[in-house]
Amino acid sequence: MILKRKIKFSRIVISFFWICLLIPFNTSASQFLQSKNTQTNLWDRVRSGLTLAAPPDSKERRIIQASYAKNLQTFNRIVSNSERYLFHIVEEVERRGMPMEIALIPVVESSYNPLVKATPGNPSTGLWQFVPRTGKHLGLSQTIWYDDRRDVIASTEAALNYLQYLYDRFDSWELAIASYNIGEGVVGKILAKTPAKDKAKGFYQLNLPIEAKQYVYKLLVVKDIIANSKKYGIKLRPVPNRPYFDTVKIHKPIEVPVVARLANISETEFTKLNPAYNGFVVKVFDEPRTLLLPKDNSKTFLRNLQIYQNAKVPWQLYHVKKGENIQMIASRHGTTAHLLRTMNNLLDNREIALVNDQVLLVPPPIKQSNTSVVYKKASADVYIVKKGDTLYHIAKRHGTTIDQIKQWNNNSNISLSIGQELLLAKN
């Protein structure tokens, strides 16, 4: 009996020994017991995955640190922006075994705002701020209808693939992050000229451009603020540790206001989750398109879409022929050049040069009457303003309100002019 007890006790000791070996030495008992599945606040999950060492004290670090600490309102806005996308990115970073600091790169790049538009001075766009050339290199398509650089899922996958590639090349997350900022070619050339003894001194001793070091400093300062938010006087609003959105497939073109209405969300919410779509219509060609919708609203959308009889936009796909312009195509199809430009996201101050075989969505002919011109669409009418019209009279005539007209047209300060086109909600 004593022998059996000794054997049982020894087995317990051995089991405990192996459990201890499995727990990382730098992980506290509480972190070990508190898995990602039991954490209710996503920020706790982020904190538990931060692994990169803090940069040495320096003038640059102190300046950046002070800048973030002084602008707490700005930082809180960034945190608020991240709530829609953070869970997805954290999931992907964890799945790949990357340091959680990678999930904070959009803080530095875009302030977690995927709607940042590219400009001639700054061609970068999206959460991860890809320039057109890098986007194409990473397989992110860019058309007048859709820009993958702003697609939450596609751009995140591309960014993480690229960062993993950079890490595999340079064997350092700091160098990978710096390369993401200034380019792998620049970093590669500098390392090629750096003696082995200098490389051994570490990232911060390398003769890299100051902007690259500042970029890494920024990221790691953000990491320090999130890891020690109380020290900085920042109370991070809790973010639920669960998916924010679902993906749904659509097989027919559909207007953005229709999607929003069927999902019972605002158009603003739709745009923030689907910033890659350019324009008023979600265009579908041969393959279905993916929409992101709040998790609590995706089933509502699919249920309403099933019973919605007019979800298909009654427009035809038209292939531009050589020598044609917008005005010619509009006249031929009984519509207006302005409407054609608007619905094809071709609004510009100058005449748009069309390309041979370019695909346009062309609406059915506008219906004419003695008093007004109304273009019937799946979800709305287009009213052509005539002489003497006011918003009040238009609203009254069509059984709606001035506020509804302003909301439908995304314009809180409409100034009417003869021939102007107004979208009017159907009753």
d(CA 413, CA 411) in angstroms, rounded, equals 6
Backbone phi and psi for residue 241, each to the nearest 5 degrees, phi listed first:
-85, 65
> Residue 109 catalytic?
yes
Side-chain half-sphere CA neighbours of 202 within 13 A: 6
Q: Which helix (H) or strand (E) holds 254?
A: strand 254-255
Please list the residues that pair with 130 across neighbouring strands. Answer: 125
Contact 224, 52 (CB under 8 A): no
Catalytic residue among 60, 91, 109, 267: 109
Give the closest residue to 343 by CA, choosing from 251, 257, 268, 417: 257
Side-chain half-sphere CA neighbours of 423 within 13 A: 18
CA torsion 392→395→399→403, rounded to 10°? -100
Q: Which two tokens stand for residue 267?
A: 């158009």
Contact 135, 153 (CB under 8 A): no
- Sort strands 359-362 and 316-319 into parallel, antiparallel or unpaired: antiparallel
Contact 61, 218 (CB under 8 A): no
d(CA 140, CA 157) in angstroms, rounded, equals 10
Give the closest residue to 88 by CA, choosing from 40, 153, 147: 153
Positions annotated as catalytic residues are: 109
